[in-house]
Structure 1
Amino acid sequence: MRLAITGASGLVGRFIAEEALAAGDEVLSLSRNAPLPGFFSAPVVHHPWELNGEPPALEGCDALVHLAFRHEPGRYRGGEGRDPEGFRSANLDGTQRLFEAARRGGVHRVLFLSSRAVYGDYPPGTRLAENMPPRPDTLYGEVKWQAEQALAALTAPGFATASLRATGIYGPAGPGQRHKWTDLFEDFRAARPIAPRVATELHGTDLATAIRLLLTCPANRLGGRAFNTSDIMLDRRELLNEVAQLTGCASPLPSPGDARRVSEMECARLHNLGWQPGGMALLRESLPVMLAL
């Protein structure tokens, strides 16, 4: 398969690109800057592209995975900063141009990385099922939901589409990158105060496995649908206790967070395709690498 991936050199995109390379795919990386030598485990083809520019040429690609998203550094919700119109123009208009270019270019399958943020203002503790209507309450969630709808509207015979509503993605970072918990781990080891928090998490390799399933399953299983993509409910206290056991760090643990205020996602559609994420076992396997032990 010749697979085009936007944002392949990002923290999340690298997991998708590495899985594709391991599967023997030819990877076309679409991003502003070419990846540094050695960033990926095998060569990839790079084509310069950015969301607010002209859509790329996608002729000859079998599938497209759209991960790229323009936002303020380190922020998704609220990632528009002081430029909501520019945020919407790049992330919605640019995404729509990309999807249309994929259809014109003869791409057969397109997957879009959406977000749990599309569910928005459901009460804390709600079990979020895929058939529940989205209720985004942030510009980020609204743009993701509108992009989902734009892609679904293009679905046609020979052009299969789906969106993945993903939770927070964790895992080891690529060369020269910092993973999502780098600052948290540094604060803990320096005994700085840490606020309690509980969140849903998903390892990047499990996201990549979900994407592989959607790239290879029968096209009629996609149908423009959205697939919830989540795994563990994780308290920072539990996470940092694992760090303490691995490092011998004696810093005080944060207070337990309130799991009752976290809405978990039901991932029935992916589970029905045979998807099984790695759970706490995969987290524990990854922590020594993330701690550089």
Structure 2
Amino acid sequence: MSVAVTGATGFVGRFFVEEALAAGERVTVLTRQPPPPGFFSDPVSHSPYALGDRPDLSGYDAVVHCAFAHVPGRYRGGEGDDPEGFVRANLDGSLALFEAARAAGVGHVLLLSSRAVYGAYPPGTPLSEEMALRPDTLYGEVKALAEDALFAMASPSLVPVSLRATGVYGPAGPGQRHKWADLFDAFRAGRSIAPRRGTELHGQDLATAARLIREVPAETCAGRAFNLSDFLLDYRALLAFVARAEGISHPLPPESDTPVSVMRTRAISALGWRPGGRALLEATLPHLL
């Protein structure tokens, strides 16, 4: 199969590229600039792309859309002081890509969405795909509207799917920092860390889910959203690993008692998806230090 990935050199996008390469697929990265030499484990093709473009997607079996314009380091609140530009780039830009995929006869279009589409539900609410979407940020609203627009394009030849991912962790690409790098540095420096816990998912497991979706019969996933989440992680437990590994004696933050809305993942599990759980976290953490 041949796969095109937008935002492929971003932290999350890289996992989709590496999964496709491992499966022996032909990969084209759609980014503004070509990736640096050696950024991916195997050679990839490059096609210049920016949000709002209508690239020629002829000949591709699947498109994975990860590109997203936002204030660096922020998704919620990522519009900064330009909400109109945020919507124009991300929603209108996504629609242009979807239209290009449909015109080119692409079989699968997968949108990287977010648990932010459920934002307004009270903390501690179990979240399932059947629930009405209630985004409470512009980021979540844009993702929800992009999902709706993509699903409306479903046809016998086009299989649109949304990947509603929770927080993604894992090794970053060459020259990049992983999601907890600043947290680890703050802990090493002895700064106070506020209690926090949240749901996590390894980027490898996210990309595996995307591959499974593309391999099952189209009627099982066309026009559907899939929740993707693995486990609940507290900063105290995470930093305890860092403390043990590096001999740090700074006080750990207290455990968080904040309720967390956990996404149910029965739909993707029914396709045979099994995330790596805490065993994968423990295997990954040494690489993040």
Work out whether the TM-score is over 0.5: yes
Does the alignment pair 1:284 with 2:282? yes
Q: 1:177 — aligned with what?
A: 176
- Listed one character per residue, the Cα deviations across residues 37-56 of structure 1 (whole Å, up to 9, x for unaligned) are 0000111111111103x211
| 1:223 Cα deviation after fit | 2.0
Q: Distance in 2 between matches of 1:223 and 1:33?
A: 32
Q: Distance in 1 between matches of 2:113 and 2:28?
A: 21
1:50 aligned partner, one-letter code: A
Give runs of aligned pairs for residues 51-130 of structure 1, distance below 5 A. 51-52=51-52, 54-130=53-129
Q: 2:260 aligns with which of 259, 262, 267?
A: 262
Q: 1:221 — aligned with what?
A: 220
- Partner SS for 2:285: helix
Q: Distance in 1 between matches of 2:230 and 2:248?
A: 27
Where structure 2 has 5 or more consecutive residues not aligned to the other structure, the ranges are: none
2:192 aligned partner, one-letter code: P
| 1:132 Cα deviation after fit | 0.4
| 1:245 Cα deviation after fit | 1.6
Q: CA RMSD in A?
A: 0.7
| 1:249 Cα deviation after fit | 1.3
May I ask how many residue pairs the two structures share in their alignment? 289
Q: 1:143 — aligned with what?
A: 142
Q: Distance in 2 between matches of 1:130 and 1:143?
A: 17
Q: Distance in 2 between matches of 1:219 and 1:169?
A: 26
- Partner SS for 1:85: helix
Q: Distance in 2 between matches of 1:48 and 1:64?
A: 15
| 1:159 Cα deviation after fit | 0.7
- Listed one character per residue, the Cα deviations across residues 73-106 of structure 1 (whole Å, up to 9, x for unaligned) are 0000000000000000010001001001001001
- Partner SS for 2:69: coil
TM-score by length of 1: 0.97
Q: 1:40 — aligned with what?
A: 40
Q: Distance in 2 between matches of 1:75 and 1:60?
A: 34
Q: Distance in 1 between matches of 2:277 and 2:247?
A: 24
Q: Distance in 2 between matches of 1:12 and 1:251?
A: 31
2:288 aligned partner, one-letter code: M
Q: Distance in 1 between matches of 2:248 and 2:284?
A: 18
2:65 aligned partner, one-letter code: H
Q: Distance in 2 between matches of 1:88 and 1:190?
A: 38
Q: Distance in 1 between matches of 2:99 and 2:191?
A: 48
2:239 aligned partner, one-letter code: L
| 1:120 Cα deviation after fit | 1.4
Give runs of aligned pairs for residues 19-30 of structure 1, distance below 5 A. 19-30=19-30
- Partner SS for 2:236: helix
